[in-house]
Amino acid sequence: MKTVNIKIDGKELVVPEGITILEAARQANITIPTLCFLKDINEIGACRMCVVEIKGARALQAACVYPVSEGLEVYTNTKKVRDARKVTLELILSNHDRQCLTCERSENCELQNLAKSLNVRDIRYKALYDNEMQPIDDVSTSIVRNNNKCILCRRCVSVCKKVQTVAVIDTMERGFLTKVGSAFGKSLADTPCVNCGQCIAVCPVGALTEKSHIDQVWDAIADPEKYVVFQTAPAVRASIGEAFGMPIGTRATGKMVSAIRGLGVDKVFDTNTGADLTILEEGTELLNRIQNGGKLPLITSCSPGWIKFCEHNYPDFLDNLSSCKSPHEMFGAVLKTYYAEKMGIDPAKMYVVSVMPCTAKKFEAQREEMKNSSGFVDVDAVLTTRELAQMIKECGIDFANLEDSQFDDPMGDASGAAVIFGATGGVMEAALRTVADVLTGTSAPIDKIEYQAVRGVEGIKEATVNVAGKEIRVAVASGLGNARKLLDAIRAGEANYEFIEIMACPGGCVNGGGQIIQPSSVRSWIDLRTERAKALYEEDRALPIRKSHDNPMIKALYDEYYKEPGSHKAHEDLHTHYVKRDNY
């Protein structure tokens, strides 16, 4: 690697040639503020917050896009630089809805933090045109868009277009009238938006948020007629601690259970039980298709953002999708049928709340296809990890100092295979653990159940896995742009597989659109996907049961209720179908 000699604020540095001033400064522990910047996603120098002074140059330059070269001398903290940044920030604030006290992103807002660090105490400028309040787009079941808080950083546009290749939002109009919107001024609900929430995760302010279910969940908890059950997805435990000052990737399972119990709910269950059930149903489906000439490749159906993307863009692959509901929907169906019957609870009074790392789950829960044999919807409300954190804070619960608790019985046991569902490749690995045992009729030793070939955060992973002497060609994709590449290759006859896992969010659910939001200064340099996934793999290794079919709760469920995976009764509650949607 070729290096160059440069100076930043008088500090002599040797850095790789071609990196930006921003990256070079970071390597030297010199902080340069940013706002629109998001590494590898949005590097456009639009906001001008990162301007620096360069010896010999007339104008200030944006550090996020200016490459270093031999002999470059940079000054990041001169009066000229500070004044320019402050003026730019005040101009941005002059057109911003500054109701910070009631904003969902208060205290986790990059604009607010910049105003504090740059000592902005007054806004010297008025809006350059009569800025009437724009209508809030809250029609979507998952995402609320408030352009009055938008600062035109374009991060949401970049992630939607470049990473997810959904491209339902873009900048519109020109000059002072510029805004982010959808074609023909449509609501997000009337576009092929897949509700993944990646736009929310990268938004530096409160312009994009999830459709909150907090108030209706509080109402249910306060209703003495309701039996309120919470279930939590595996990825939630790997992120929830971040909302309370814990390091990224902290495994906070026990504290999370204690906190939810402190909200006043009746039971706290683990969606991992539903994940184990998914593996039995999906593994059986895979084996049936392989052995009986069914439609291949089988593609997993756990990610509702991916499912909607497929419905809009790849309807020719709908028959390849597993008919299995996602784990939280399966578990909701089990709770309102088997569990309600076993415990003598009227399913009409049971209120199931899913805590998910995902905004698309909100859309999924209200789909007509997500009902069970009891006649009721599987899940009544979906909370994101962020919403759960907010409810915990409302109760004044000291999360970081809580004692660990266990999930409630009789649904408390789950396997390590279920835990890793939250990381890309996890569903695939969990399924292979079970399929291997089913094919051999034996139990593979613990040191043989970790399928490293499908782990890691690469966008597309391919492998040929030897399972009980049978070669199974598999692929794993995370992020919808990668899913598009994979499916296009299959369409073109360039690739062939038996089993495919697709997750809508890059890195899987650990990086879901409903997870705790980290600012660009963190997510640009720390791989959230890897750090959070570590927590799930740690929990997998720590659990006594590491295969879904070894879960005693799942065995009892089939013995007492469903009889066997893929049975008629199982199909009534645990399986569904999907539909072709317009892509306009």
**Cα 271 off chain centre by:** 16
CA distance 148 to 94: 11
Going by C-beta distance under 8 Å and a sequence separation of 6 or more, which residues neighbour residue 214?
383, 387, 390, 391
CA distance 162 to 198: 12
Q: Is the dihedral of CA 140, 141, 143, 146 positive or negative?
A: positive
CA distance 352 to 167: 33
What one-letter code names the amino acid at 52?
V
CA distance 351 to 266: 10
DSSP character string of 445-495:
-GGG---GGG-SS-SEEEEEEEETTEEEEEEEEESHHHHHHHHHHHHTTS-
CA distance 545 to 538: 13
Is there a contact between 354 and 514 (Cβ–Cβ < 8 Å)? no
Cα separation of the two ends of the chain:
46
Is there a contact between 324 and 282 (Cβ–Cβ < 8 Å)? yes
Is there a contact between 269 and 408 (Cβ–Cβ < 8 Å)? yes
Output the CA torsion 22→25→30→36 (10° steps): 10
Which residues on neighbouring strands pair with residue 474, listed in sequence order?
A: 463, 499
Per the structure block, which two tokens stand in for 346? 């009227």
For every residue of 374-400, which 3-state class applies, written as one string? CCCECCCEEEEHHHHHHHHHHCCCCHH
Residues designated catalytic = 282, 285, 302, 322, 361, 364, 369, 509
Per the structure block, which two tokens stand in for 14? 């040797």
Residue written as token pair 């350059």:
128
Cα atoms in the Cβ-side hemisphere of radius 13 Å centred on 556: 12
Q: Let me know how many helices (H) and strands (E) the chain has, helices first.
A: 20, 17
Residue written as token pair 């396997």:
415
